[in-house]
């Protein structure tokens, strides 16, 4: 087994079994000394769904989980939320869509709660699926799907604040406007604490993080699997109001997010000043070979910068 010793954005990334990591549109959870990387398992056949505009897709396999203590070498913990091939009605049937899974731990209940964009192949169902587990590595029990407070929901993420409050961020109103809704104490239901942001601006792929007292969101434009320019915005509260700050990416192809799209931003364990941005470099003709672009997030004179760097390692934060 070869050890990974650096981050190689855009290069194949093999797990500790030597297999390409399948954790697209992912997220990171640090729990009890271990990092857990969750994402879409797209290790299936690519085809065009002709029901609506020739969409490139892979049938749903489920949500993968990998574990690591160094963020470079990842052990496959398996598919922790599986598709349900025998139930065509299920949100988890292979013919459906299961994207951008996000997992947070509820400190009050001790449960791990998984949220994901669940949809029909034509993207008209537009819901958030919720599943829970007693362990980070699952299995996750699927509880069902919601349209939060009646709103359609496609690309989404979850942000958990230091005080334990948690917020859904999701592209709504046919992707035109981002909605933000606080979750209840159990993280299982939306509350009435909600707002709209980036109204009419068609933002997708939200990735939310906090630095100091400021909240930040990176999002993409709406161009299917094709890359476009990322946009950063900041606020004093998760519900906004959000101020657009522009493109945080610097370097070759920064205008198309280094050929990638935002997925998640997370701080290193025990170092809230060291954050890593996770992007997906989608390969729509062979989605299983979509690559990962992870880069350090820099705070320079109160500005957020994400510079192309290849290779790099955690000494970048020293």
Question: Within 126-155, which residues bind ligand DGJ (CB under 6 A)?
Answer: 155
Closest CA to 99 of 153, 46, 51, 53: 153
Antiparallel, parallel or unpaired: β 271-281 and 261-268: antiparallel
Residue 225 lies near ligand DGJ (rule: CB under 6 A): yes
- Please pick, from the candidates 42, 96, 100, 105, the single residue that binds ligand DGJ as defined by CB under 6 A: 100
Distance from C-alpha of 219 to C-alpha of 207, rounded to nearest angstrom: 6
CB of 169 to ligand DGJ, least distance (A): 13
**Tokens coding 215:** 């909240």
Distance from C-alpha of 100 to C-alpha of 179, rounded to nearest angstrom: 16
Residues 148-187: x/- map of binding to ligand DGJ (CB under 6 A)? Answer: -------x--------------------------------
Chain-centroid distance of CA 178 in Å reads 15
The phi-psi region of residue 213 (left if phi > 0; otherwise alpha if psi is between -120 and 50; otherwise beta) is: alpha
The residue length of the chain stands at 318
Q: Which is nearer to ligand DGJ, 100 or 102 (CB)?
A: 100
- Please pick, from the candidates 71, 113, 146, 205, the single residue that binds ligand DGJ as defined by CB under 6 A: 205
Number of residues near ligand DGJ (by CB under 6 A): 9
CB of 155 to ligand DGJ, least distance (A): 5
Residue 59 lies near ligand DGJ (rule: CB under 6 A): no
Q: Which is nearer to ligand DGJ, 106 or 219 (CB)?
A: 219
Question: Within 243-262, which residues bind ligand DGJ (CB under 6 A)?
Answer: 261
Q: Which is nearer to ligand DGJ, 224 or 251 (CB)?
A: 224
Q: What is the DSSP letter of 3?
A: P
CA dihedral 300, 272, 128, 133 (to 10 degrees): 160
Q: Which is nearer to ligand DGJ, 152 or 204 (CB)?
A: 204
Query: What residue has token string 């100091």?
Result: 212
Residue 88 lies near ligand DGJ (rule: CB under 6 A): no
- Count other C-beta atoms under 10 Å from residue 1's C-beta: 8
CB of 204 to ligand DGJ, least distance (A): 5
Task: Report yes or no: 183 and 196 within 8 Å, Cβ to Cβ.
Answer: no
Residue 224 lies near ligand DGJ (rule: CB under 6 A): yes
CB of 314 to ligand DGJ, least distance (A): 28
**Tokens coding 25:** 């549109």
Residue 283 lies near ligand DGJ (rule: CB under 6 A): no
Residue 228 lies near ligand DGJ (rule: CB under 6 A): no
Query: What residue has token string 């709406």?
Result: 222
Task: Report yes or no: 66 and 21 within 8 Å, Cβ to Cβ.
Answer: yes
- Please pick, from the candidates 9, 25, 227, 238, the single residue that binds ligand DGJ as defined by CB under 6 A: 25
Task: Report yes or no: 129 and 144 within 8 Å, Cβ to Cβ.
Answer: yes
Task: Report yes or no: 257 and 278 within 8 Å, Cβ to Cβ.
Answer: no
CB of 63 to ligand DGJ, least distance (A): 14
Q: Which is nearer to ligand DGJ, 111 or 206 (CB)?
A: 206
Q: Which is nearer to ligand DGJ, 25 or 62 (CB)?
A: 25
Residue 308 lies near ligand DGJ (rule: CB under 6 A): no
Task: Report yes or no: 224 and 154 within 8 Å, Cβ to Cβ.
Answer: no
In the complex, which residues of this chain contact ligand DGJ (CB under 6 A)?
Answer: 25, 99-100, 155, 204-205, 224-225, 261
């Amino acid at each position: 087994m070869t050890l990974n010793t650096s981050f190689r954005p855009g290069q194949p990334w093999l797990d500790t079994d030597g297999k390409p990591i399948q954790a697209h549109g992912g997220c990171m959870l640090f729990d009890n000394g271990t990092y857990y990387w969750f994402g879409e398992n797209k290790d299936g056949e690519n085809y065009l769904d002709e029901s609506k505009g020739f969409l490139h897709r892979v049938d749903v396999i489920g949500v993968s989980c990998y574990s690591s203590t160094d963020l470079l070498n990842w052990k496959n913990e398996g598919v922790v939320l599986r598709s349900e091939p025998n139930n065509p009605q299920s949100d988890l049937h292979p013919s459906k869509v299961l994207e951008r899974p996000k997992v947070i731990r509820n400190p009050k209940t001790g449960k791990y709660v998984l949220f994901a964009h669940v949809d029909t192949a034509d993207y008209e169902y537009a819901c958030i699926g919720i599943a829970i587990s007693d362990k980070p590595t699952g299995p996750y029990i699927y509880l069902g799907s919601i349209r939060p407070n009646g709103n359609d929901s496609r690309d989404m993420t979850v942000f958990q604040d230091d005080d334990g409050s948690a917020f859904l961020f999701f592209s709504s109103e046919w992707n035109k406007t981002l909605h933000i809704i606080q979750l209840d104490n159990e993280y299982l239901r939306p509350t009435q604490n909600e707002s709209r942001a980036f109204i009419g601006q068609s933002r997708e792929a939200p990735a939310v993080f906090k630095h100091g007292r400021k909240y930040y969101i990176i999002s993409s434009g709406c161009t299917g699997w094709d890359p476009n320019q990322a946009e950063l915005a900041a606020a004093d509260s998760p519900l906004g109001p959000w101020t657009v700050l522009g493109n945080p990416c610097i370097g070759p192809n920064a205008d198309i997010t280094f050929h990638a799209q935002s997925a998640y931003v997370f701080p290193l364990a025990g170092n809230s000043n060291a954050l890593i941005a996770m992007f997906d470099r989608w390969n729509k003709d062979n989605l299983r070979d979509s690559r990962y672009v992870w880069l350090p997030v820099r705070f320079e004179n109160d500005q957020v910068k994400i510079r192309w760097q290849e290779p790099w390692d955690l000494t970048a934060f020293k």
